[in-house]
Every structure is written in C-alpha cells, then in structure tokens.
Amino acid sequence: MKKQFVVIGLGQFGSSVCKQLYQLGHDVLGIDNDAENVRANSNYASHVVVANATDEDKLRALGVRNFDYAIVAIGEKIQPSILCTLILKEIGVKNIWVKAQNTQHQKVLEKVGADRIINPEEEMGIRIANQLDSDKIIDYIGLSKDYSILELRATSKISNKSLIQLDIRAKYGCNVLAIKRGEQVNVSPAPNDRIHEGDVMVVMGNNKSLKRLEDKGM
C-alpha cells in the first residue's frame, strides 16, 4: 500500500530512510535546511525542499499535516529536533518517528508526544554485540526488553535432525520461524523438516531461553 512520508533532516540516517522509502514506491518529501543535502537527495524522493524544520508556517505551507508519517532525523542538535516534533504534533501529523541522540533526548521526545523514538547507534551496537557474543549468531533483532529474534547457525550437533526430534519449543520455549539454506528460505517449517549443519534457523523467544538454546541446543 502506497503511503506518504515526510523525512525531515537529510543527513546520513535521514537520507537512507528517504531513499529506501522512495525505492519501495512511496511518496516521500525530503526537507533539510542545507541546500547541498537537498540536492544530493533530489533523485531519491518525490520532492525535496530547503526549509527550516522549526518554522511552523513553512511546515504548514508544505502540507505536512496530510502525510501518513513524519520522520524527524535532524542531526546532532537536540533543540531543533524537539521543537520540530512539538510543531508536528500541534499541526496534527498522525505518526511521528524521531531519531534520538541520547537518553535525555529520548525522555524529552516521549514527553512531547513522539509516537516512536529511534536510537540507531544504540540499536546497532546491541545488534553487533550479540553477533560478536557467539559465532553461532548471524543476526539479532530485539523485539522488546525480554524477547528477540535470532538467526542461529546449526552445528553438527543437530545435523540431520527433524524439528520434531529437536523439540525446541517444548525444551526451550522458543519458536522456529524459518530455516534458511543457501538462497532458499523455508517459512513456517513443518515438524518433519530436517536441519543440516550450516543451515540458519530463525528463532523467536525469551532472551534467556534463546541463550539456553544457543549454549546447549545448537
């Protein structure tokens, strides 16, 4: 379904969001107060505009109220990010996602009504740390404080065993969502599907349970 997005702040993070949304076929308006950033993204958005993100009249004139989502990706300066979020809230933008610089910034954004707060550096740091923690972990996605999705590489310990033989759900309280073998992905695998050494299992569960599965089951 095609949606309308306004991305405010076209630095490295904002540009990446802008380009990907546009490539996915959505209408994207990119806004930045730096003309060079705007020029650099002119081919990766439906429209790009040089504008001050804290100018309420300008944001109203651009019709940001009519967009499905606003992504505030303003750089290192916290004050403009907070003020822009507040203005968007007052204008009536339905969904406001904001990049936070630190914990203090996040707390203020929560107070002014940001619908979702993004901590890209922290999230990437956690993701990389979990991959470094074990050579079995290919990727990590945190769902909440207690639950995650892991991509775990199968070892010889479980090679040629079926999911029903491994009984991962009963033993560890985790669900196998998919099995990746090379370029093939088996979504919602059947109980009799077998795991081979080198396969990647996409598993969801409680963090403690996932750790037990990684340590003892794989």
pLDDT tens-digit map of 43-60: 999 999 999 999 999 999
Residue 173: left (phi > 0), alpha (psi -120 to 50), or beta? Answer: left
pLDDT digits (tens, 9 = 90+) for 130-179: 666 666 777 778 888 888 898 889 889 899 999 999 999 999 999 999 99
Three-state SS sequence of 16-66: HHHHHHHHCCCEEEEEECCHHHHHHCCCCCCEEEECCCCCHHHHHHCCHHH
Architecture of domain 123-217: 2-Layer Sandwich (3.30)
pLDDT digits (tens, 9 = 90+) for 81-123: 999 999 999 999 999 999 998 888 989 999 889 999 988 777 7
Task: Determine the Cα–Cα distance for residues 98 and 69; give it in Å rounded to an integer.
Answer: 11
SS3 150: strand
Residue 68: left (phi > 0), alpha (psi -120 to 50), or beta? Answer: alpha
Contact of 147 with 204, CB cutoff 8 Å: yes
User: What are the helix and strand counts (H, E) for the chain?
Assistant: 9, 13
Domain 4-118 part of CATH 3.40.50.720:
yes
Residues of the chain with CATH 3.30.70.1450: 123-217
Tokens 């945190």 belong to residue: 142
Percent of the chain with pLDDT over 90: 62
pLDDT digits (tens, 9 = 90+) for 5-41: 999 999 999 999 999 999 999 999 999 999 999 999 9
Task: Determine the Cα–Cα distance for residues 180 and 195; give it in Å rounded to an integer.
Answer: 10
- How far, in whole angstroms, is CA 58 from its chain's centroid? 29
How much is the pTM? 0.68
Residues of the chain with CATH 3.40.50.720: 4-118
Task: Determine the Cα–Cα distance for residues 187 and 177; give it in Å rounded to an integer.
Answer: 6
pLDDT at 188 over 80: yes
* Relative orientation angle of helices 103-112 and 78-91, to the nearest 10 degrees: 20
Q: Please give the backbone phi and psi of residue 148, each rounded to the nearest 5 degrees, phi first.
A: -145, 170
Amino acid at 218: M
